[in-house]
Structure 1
Amino acid sequence: MISERRRREKLNESFQILRSLLPPGSKKDKASVLSSTTEYLSSLKSQVEELSKRNQMLESQLASKDRSKLAIKNKWRALLHQWKGRVLEFLKQQRNVSLLSVESNTRMLESIPVHRIMLRLKIEGDEFDESAFQEAVRRVVDDLPQS
């Protein structure tokens, strides 16, 4: 008899916990609590599945963007390498000019990559033709494929 009372008390406590987990406005009798709990759990399960699908889709989009950024970066590196080679060839033809360093970076401006290259040159004497150098660099840039 005492064990039966404990069983009923435990069962009633469990129903009370279920009632507290259900959305407001649900009926409170035991049959309704079980029915509402089943519906509510099914609804939550569907929401979890939908959110998992959305999460996978967003992760896929992020991975695609990362791959696209990497491809752009690799293409830029290849173009920069090609550009440096051409500029170095031009500089070799100049007797009084040597290349000290090259710096480059890329930044996004309204979703458009903007590439910057800075050359440090050592110029000896006063025979350097700056306009010819600028024209040569312009020709090299114009000859490169557009990214």
Structure 2
Amino acid sequence: MSDILAAVTGDPLDPSTVDEFVWRSDAGAVVSFQGIVRDHDGGKGVVSLDYRAHPEAETFLRECCEEVARTTGLRVAAQHRVGSLTIGDLALIAAVAAPHRAEAFAACAELVEIIKARVPIWKRQHFTDGDSEWVGL
């Protein structure tokens, strides 16, 4: 069985999917991250986001998960949503299972940072004043 799960999808995300994937009986800790669409950015009100992905974004996401799994020896999972999202929607979920909490927290934080830096997914923020802007281009 693979030690990673990686997906880019237009479907709503379910955190239990990644948590259940990573957990095994030897894991005393499952740490997960949920990136949620918030109602503001940079002092401006946000009403929605549009996420667009490079055609090979899922390959990049898989490589990030594989790297963290390889360097830590842990099971990892991540999913990123694309398409139109509204306030409160989940945009990114990631999870790591480890025997102890410290290593699970560290590995999950590392996974999220690598994903944000390397996976070619861009968001367009739509503001309450009618303006919009691309982030990450």
TM range (shorter): 0.3 to 0.5
Which structure: greater helix fraction?
Answer: 1
Select the structure with the greater relative contact order (CA < 8 A; seq sep ≥ 6). Answer: 2
Larger radius of gyration: 1
Which structure: greater strand fraction?
Answer: 2
